[in-house]
Amino acid sequence: MNDTAADTNLLEAAAPPVPSKDARPPHVPPKFWDAEAGTIRVDALLKSYLELERRLSAPADPAARRGEALKLLGVPDKADDYRIRCDHGLFDPDPELNGRLHAAGFTPEQAQLVYDLASERMVPLLREMAADLEADREMERLVAHFGGPEKWAEASVQILSWATRHLPGPAVEALAQTAEGVLALHRMMSSAEPQAVSGAAAPDGTADLNRLVADPRYWRDRDPAYIAKVTEAFRRVYGA
């Protein structure tokens, strides 16, 4: 009898426990568990799934979609990532401009093109402005040299008239670009006119100097070495 009771107890001890109704499995969240019925709340699980599906299928934030599209096009994350080259040295990359280019969705290549076009248009303009400024300075020098605007106007007519009769047109045009060239024409005219009137001899070396000035290397090519040679010839002939 005692053996039978012992056997019965052993069998009872070995049998798996019967779960209670409120024993929630650990992998099931509490909100999906019906403790009273001891089962999963299918309605809550289904509702949660449908909400998740709605969020996943909903359109993304417009800003986020634009950011992703810009990345695909090659637009950097921020304007500071542009690597603009300004090899011409006229100006440097401008942070404010780069910010506007980035906001507009410019790729690095497009941003560089903006700068390249700016320099392409600005370089000739700046050179033209510099040339105009230099011309004004040269004109002021001539006016001062001849003693005022009226005397310079009179002298300029005389110089041009003489030069066009005695020198090649391109040489006259080239020399007329600078005050030094105009003064050189004036010196040549001053040394030649007395000879034409009284038969007096021109300064020694005048013929050679005229030949040097007429050479295209002086008035067309502006060869530095040749210009130095002509300048030295002027000093020998006119002492200036």
Please indicate, yes or no, if residue 112 is contained in any of the structural domains. yes
Q: Cα dist. 14→18, 75, 83 in Å?
A: 12, 69, 76
CB neighbours of 143 closer than 8 A, spacing ≥ 6? 149, 152
State which of 124, 157, 175 marks the end of a domain: 124
Residues 153, 104 share a domain: no
Domain that holds residue 193: 147-238
- pTM for the whole thing? 0.38
Do the beta carbons of residue 93 and residue 125 sit within 8 Å? no
Q: Is residue 37 part of a domain?
A: no
- Is residue 202 a contact partner of residue 192, using CB atoms and an 8 Å limit? yes
What integer is the mean pLDDT of 42-56? 77
Asked, for residue 97, whether it belongs to a domain, the answer is yes
| Whole-number percent of the chain with pLDDT over 70 | 74
Last residue of some domain: 75, 109, 124?
A: 124
| pLDDT of amino acid 2 | 53
Pairing between β-strand 39-40 and β-strand 33-34 as defined by DSSP bridges: antiparallel
- Whether residue 9 is predicted with pLDDT greater than 70 in this model: the reply is no
Please write the tens of the pLDDT for every residue from 91-101. 889 999 999 99
- Does residue 116 lie in a domain region? yes
Q: What is the pLDDT of residue 13?
A: 54
Q: Find the mean pLDDT for residues 196-205.
A: 46
Asked whether residue 221 is assigned to any structural domain, the reply reads: yes
In the predicted model, what is the mean pLDDT of residues 131-153?
Answer: 85
Q: Is residue 181 located within the same domain as residue 226?
A: yes
Say yes or no: 165 and 221 in one domain: yes
| Cα separation values, 212 from 124, 224, 236, Å | 32, 14, 13
pLDDT of residue 82: 92
Q: What is the mean pLDDT of residues 120-143?
A: 80
Domain presence at residue 194: yes
Whether 195 shows a pLDDT value over 50: the answer reads no
Task: Report which of residues 44 and 18 the model is more confident about.
Answer: 44
Q: What's the mean per-residue pLDDT of the chain?
A: 76
Q: What is the pLDDT of residue 194?
A: 42
> In this structure, which amino acid lies at residue 117?
L
Q: Are 218 and 234 in contact (CB under 8 A)?
A: no
The reply to whether 134 falls in a domain is no
Q: How confident is the model at residue 200 (pLDDT cuts 50, 70, 90)?
A: very low
Q: What pLDDT does 184 receive?
A: 82
Of the candidates 147, 110, 231, the residue with the CA atom closest to the CA atom of residue 223 = 231
| Beta strands per DSSP E along the chain | 33-34, 39-40
pLDDT score, position 21: 53
Contacts 24+ apart (CB under 8 A), 110-116: 111/82, 111/84, 112/82, 112/84, 112/85, 115/84, 115/85, 115/86
- Give domain status of residue 204, yes or no: yes
How many domains does one find in the chain?
A: 2
Confidence (pLDDT) at 97: 93
